[in-house]
Amino acid sequence: MLNGNTLLITAGPTWEAIDPVRGITNHSSGKMGYALARSAAELGAQVILVSGPVCLPPPKGMETIAVSSALDMYQAVHRQLQEHSVDVFIGVAAVADYRPADIQPQKIKKSSDALTLRLVKNPDIVASVAALEHRRPYTVGFAAETEHLEAYARGKLENKKLDMIIANDVSREGTGFGSDSNHALLITAEHTLDSGHVSKSELAHKILQHIEHELRR
């Protein structure tokens, strides 16, 4: 189905260092991104996976690039876009919106009852890919929300100029971060498809089928 297509996929969380032993991260396990990467390879695509720190073995049959921070992931994604003719970019990774402004070179010692960190905004990776004017791939984002699922996701679709967005309610029991199943909305400018409650591998196949259908159009 995806023979001849190159897919670039991000997965997992990012780790934003505070000092050599502490950092800011999130609950992303990487399972959804890895499921998409495996399914795409099984469907004949050439897959490049850029992964944040996860406890998952690298999928077989593809190049896996391990990164840590959001800046690392941003640089790795744009390096691959320069080096390869990428047909589809799928930003599954739960990239930290902010990072500490200053990383301390030594472990911060506990000295007072409060500690203030100054945070600065990270680059929006999926939006930066969607904004490319030269060799722009079909760009798919993910939206992890806890309320107003479709409305918030459609706002991101439009604001970031994405071709498709996959939205899931991470507050729903049995889906989202760390789970082996998910329930998502596959949203384009024209329509919304409800995946139903399915395994992440099943959802990956549905997403790729939907992308392939959109590419044919």
Of 84, 195, 184, 91, nearest to 140 by C-alpha is 91
Is 182 noted as a catalytic residue in this protein? no
**Active-site residue identified among 26, 122, 159, 168:** 26
CA neighbor of 168 nearest in space, from 189, 192, 190, 142: 142
Report the run of H or E that residue 215 belongs to, with start and end. Answer: helix 200-216
Q: 3-class DSSP state for residue 40?
A: helix
Phi and psi at residue 85, to the nearest 5°: -90, 95
* CA pair distance 33, 201, nearest whole angstrom: 10
Q: How many residues does the chain have?
A: 217
Active site residues: 26
